Homo-oligomer: A and B are copies of this chain.
Amino acid sequence: MSTISRSAKFAERTSRLRASTIREMLKVTQQPNVISFGGGLPAPELFPVAAVAECTAEIMEEIGASALQYSVTQGIPEMRTWVAQRLATQMARDVSADDVLIVNGSQQGLDLLGKIFLDPGDHVLLERPTYLGAIQAFDAYQAQYLSVETDEHGIVPESLERIIERADPLPKFLYLVPTFQNPTGRTLSIERRERIVRICERFEVPIVEDDPYHELRFEGEPLPPLVSFARNGSVIYLGTGSKIVAPGLRIAWLVASDPEVREKLILAKQGADLHSGSLAQYIFHRFVSRREAFARHLEAIVATYRGRRDVMYAALGEFMPESVRFNKPEGGMFLWASVAGIDTTALLERSKEERVVFVPGVSFYPQRDVVESMRLNFSNAGEEKIRVGIERLASVIRSSAR
């Protein structure tokens, strides 16, 4: 190892392992004829390509240079007002635009939360399993993890209560994806939502609610986000434009009503990159402000993903052996499957050869201690590919089980 790299910290072994798993998988994905259930990519054919060109032309014509200049750390006022209004409608409760901070994808929101809350060795409460990107963000601050048990209705409140009671020191926050979770596709039941907020408030543990898939509901009634039950700013909310417009704009938002937390987040964002792209914010805002067109755009995404989920669910039922268990999420982009008796990391090696990939479930467990599950993405590939891919995967599983 060279001189300069000896000075650098951040050699986290597990972080590298996770990163390299994903990078290896993405390499395979780029090969022709590989069907990928691996990434968490939206369907690119639904991106508003023509509208982005039109919106940019309008912005350059009407707003001009100030859309290319430095702008305020919190985000452009138009974007913050739009976020506040949309969230207020979902919550049936007022949201102030002052509480909104525009960030570069939810990933940056997680990073900034790590930066303001976490010192090396601090504890964070996570769902078991949890979103991989959150582990990566918090790893950079040398966090330690306490995993809360989940079932098909999300976090088990009794498990949460027991773990917090025994915790010493108290965890810095609970991180969760309550709706169409990444990786499992599960949704926290309405009964549990308020209970979990109350438990955390009782122990004075803040909640970070990551809600990227809220608008991707295929059936059933929308559930109120946890933040709608919060008193005194106990829940920090994360939303994103990546799933409803396009991830390449890197537009997402953090909503925090506690004034101290908000101030620290703004300072942290200022030190991290001054502000999010001005032009990207204007483009995003202009696109979502075409209200009818945006509503139709969202309906098309939901209809397409619903169709793909249905095809994947049906194909799993048709092709998979009995040893494979899987769920039928009511929305989002992922489905979760378990293969009794098979380590899915080893399985991935064999399925790469058969040109079908997924993310082994072990990546979503901070302790890397559960090996028989997998995350299957259904938003990216078309219906025919999904069917063929599941058939291929089933055949790899059958031959592995022998």
Contacts and interface: CB of A to CB of B under 8 A. Distances in A.
Interface of A: 1-11, 15-16, 19, 39, 41-42, 44-45, 47-50, 52-53, 56-57, 59-61, 64-71, 103-105, 107-108, 111, 115-120, 133, 136-137, 139-140, 172-173, 201, 204-206, 232-234, 236, 242, 246-250, 258-261, 263-264, 267-268, 270-280, 283
A147 to B, nearest CB: 19
A16 B273 contact: no
Contacts of A107: 271-274
Nearest to A64: B49
Contact of A137 (B59, B65, B260, B272): B272
Contacts of A120: 119-120
Given A206-B4, A258-B5, A68 B41 contact: no
B4 A232 contact: yes
A215 to B, nearest CB: 17
A10 B272 contact: no
A2 to B, nearest CB: 5
Give the 7 A-B residue pairs with the shortest CB-CB distance, closest first: A5-B260, A248-B278, A44-B65, A68-B246, A53-B60, A108-B273, A56-B56
Contact of A39 (B65, B70, B273): B70
A268 B69 contact: no
Given A47-B65, A53-B56, A119 B3 contact: no
A261 B69 contact: no
B4 A261 contact: yes
Given A19-B267, A111-B271, A4 B250 contact: no
